[in-house]
Amino acid sequence: MKVEQRIIVALDVPSLEGAIALVNQLPQVSFWKVGLELFTSTGPQILHVLKSQNKRIFLDLKFHDIPNTVAGACRVAAGYGVDLLTIHATSGIEALKAAKEAAQTGAAQAGVKPPQLIAISLLTSISSRQLAFDLKIPLELPEYTLEMALLAKEAGLDGAVCSPQEATQLRETCGDDFVLVCPGVRPTWAQQADQKRSLTPAQAIKAGADYLVIGRPITAAAKPELAWKRIFEEITTAV
C-alpha cells in the first residue's frame, strides 16, 4: 500500500460546501473520513461527491444497536460503495455477524465491492480512569480493547479501530490480515485536543497501524496542504 493511501483525513466539517472546499484544497488526499456530523448534515450527497472524484471513503458512523437494526443500516451503507464502515464491538457478536452478512448483501445488490467492516474497540477519548470509574469495566484498558478486537475477529469482521497505543498488542494477537485503523494520531507539533491515548504518525505506523485517521492537525492548520505534506514525510521515514 502506498504511504499516501494510509492517511485518512477526517472531513469533520458541518456542511457540504465546507467539505467540498476542503477536498478541493487537498487534491493529494485519496482517502477521506465521513463522520456523524457531516453525514447528518448532507446525507449521502457527500459520498457521491467523493466517489465522483475517485476518492476512497471511510464511513465512520459507529453503528450501535440491536442486530436487526445494525444489519439494515449496514445493508444500506454498503450500497454506497464505501471502503470502510464502522460498528461498535459492544453491539455484541450477533449484531456484528448480522452486520457483516448484511454489508455483503447490500454491496452485491448495488453491484459494488463490499466495505471492510471495522469494529470500534474503545473510543480514543476514553482514558483508563474513565473506563474503570465511569463505565465500571473491571478490565485494564489494553485488555478490554483486545477483547473487543477478538470479538470482532470471531464475528468475521475485517478489523478494528483502536488507539495507536494498543496497536502493537492487537497486531501481534489478531494477525497481519486484521485491519487496524488508528485515530488519536497527533504529530508532535499539533495539539492533543480531546484525544487521550495518542502517538505520533511515525510511532503509530511502527506500532502496527494500517491506516491513520487524522483531522484537525491537517484541516485546522493554517496551511492544510503543508501539514499533510509534513505528516506524509514523517510516515515515509517510518515504513
**Tens digits of per-residue pLDDT, 83-114?**
999 999 999 999 999 999 999 999 999 999 99
Residue in 2, 33, 51, 62 annotated catalytic: 62
% of the chain exceeding 90 in pLDDT: 89
To the query of whether residue 62 is one of the catalytic residues in this protein, the response is yes
pLDDT reported for residue 199? 86
pLDDT reported for residue 192? 55
C-alpha span between 49 and 44 (Å, rounded): 9
Residue 2 CB: number of other CB atoms within 10 A? Answer: 8
Domains and CATH numbers, the chain: 3-236 (3.20.20.70)
**What does each C-alpha distance from 179 to 80, 154, 156, 190, 213 come to in angstroms?**
21, 14, 12, 26, 13
User: 195 exposed, middle or buried (CB, 10 Å; 0-12, 13-18, 19+)?
Assistant: buried
Average pLDDT over residues 142-160: 98
User: 167 exposed, middle or buried (CB, 10 Å; 0-12, 13-18, 19+)?
Assistant: buried
User: Looking at the predicted structure, is the pLDDT value of residue 31 above 90?
Assistant: yes
C-alpha span between 98 and 96 (Å, rounded): 5
Task: Write down the H helix ranges in the chain.
Answer: 16-25, 36-42, 45-52, 67-78, 93-110, 128-129, 141-154, 167-174, 201-207, 216-219, 224-236
Classify 126 as helix, strand or coil.
Answer: coil
**Tens digits of per-residue pLDDT, 193-208?**
555 567 899 999 999 9
User: Looking at the predicted structure, is the pLDDT value of residue 187 above 90?
Assistant: no
C-alpha span between 32 and 84 (Å, rounded): 10
**The pTM is what?**
0.95
Average pLDDT over residues 53-77: 98
Average pLDDT over residues 18-33: 97
C-alpha span between 67 and 49 (Å, rounded): 30
